[in-house]
Amino acid sequence: ILNVEQSPQSLHVQEGDSTNFTCSFPSSNFYALHWYRWETAKSPEALFVMTLNGDEKKKGRISATLNTKEGYSYLYIKGSQPEDSATYLCAFLRTGGFKTIFGAGTRLFVKA
């Protein structure tokens, strides 16, 4: 059974706070790790595609790191804004077929 775990399940922060979430995944048969942002009543949209151990990606105030050997990825948001409120999903893709397994997500609430 392949488990992709995300923590915390939900997070309430104030505008301006910096925050981070964790995605844990199997360290074997790694192919790629994706991060998605999912706003209520919309579809998930990709933030990052990460494939190499040690990868660090950044898009504006959001960044992510990847450790494939120990099986985790961190997503950081610097200076959270109310519009950052969404569910952040990570997805693990494994070799040999590219089966995609999503975590349950971290629900972020940013209060103005």
Partner 1 sequence: DAGVIQSPRHEVTEMGQEVTLRCKPISGHNSLFWYRQTMMRGLELLIYFNNNVPIDDSGMPEDRFSAKMPNASFSTLKIQPSEPRDSAVYFCASSLIRGTYTDEQYFGPGTRLTVT
Q: Give least dist CB 91 to partner 1, A.
A: 8
Judged by CB under 8 A, the residue of 19, 21, 30, 44 near partner 1 is: 44
Judged by CB under 8 A, the residue of 11, 23, 86, 89 near partner 1 is: 89
User: What distances in angstroms separate CA 56 from CA 38, 53, 59, 79, 91, one per listed residue?
Assistant: 21, 9, 10, 19, 16
CB atoms within 10 A of CB 13: 16
Residue with tokens 């009543």: 41
Question: Is residue 40 part of the contact set for partner 1 (CB under 8 A)?
Answer: no
Please give the DSSP secondary-structure letter assigned to residue 83: G
Question: Is residue 59 part of the contact set for partner 1 (CB under 8 A)?
Answer: no
Please give the DSSP secondary-structure letter assigned to residue 9: S
Nearest residue (CB) to partner 1, 17 versus 94: 94
Instruction: Provide the binding-site residues for partner 1, judged by CB under 8 A.
Output: 31-32, 34, 36, 42-46, 49, 51, 89, 91, 93, 97-105
